Amino acid sequence: MKSLNIDIIFPWEVGLTLALLGLILIIVGVRQSKKEIDDFDKILLVKPTTKILFGAIFCIFGVIQMLPLLK
């Protein structure tokens, strides 16, 4: 069986925190994308798609950090 050769950088607690932060970012991004903005003064600095993208990256990175728990 071949290995993926993926090493962890942080302990699993940090991975859990990153995964939860990623889920929160995804939820906030989806909720923000459903709102319609009529006034240009209320435009936020970060687009919802950026939040969803970074949330997905944080989730993947966090799950990789938690791989040693599966042993």
Output the tens digit of pLDDT for each of the chain's 71 residues: 455 666 667 888 899 999 999 999 999 999 988 877 666 666 666 788 889 999 999 999 999 888 888 77
pLDDT of residue 43: 63
Give the whole-angstrom CA distance, residue 38 versus residue 70: 48
Contact 26, 55 (CB under 8 A): yes
Residue 44 confidence (pLDDT): 67
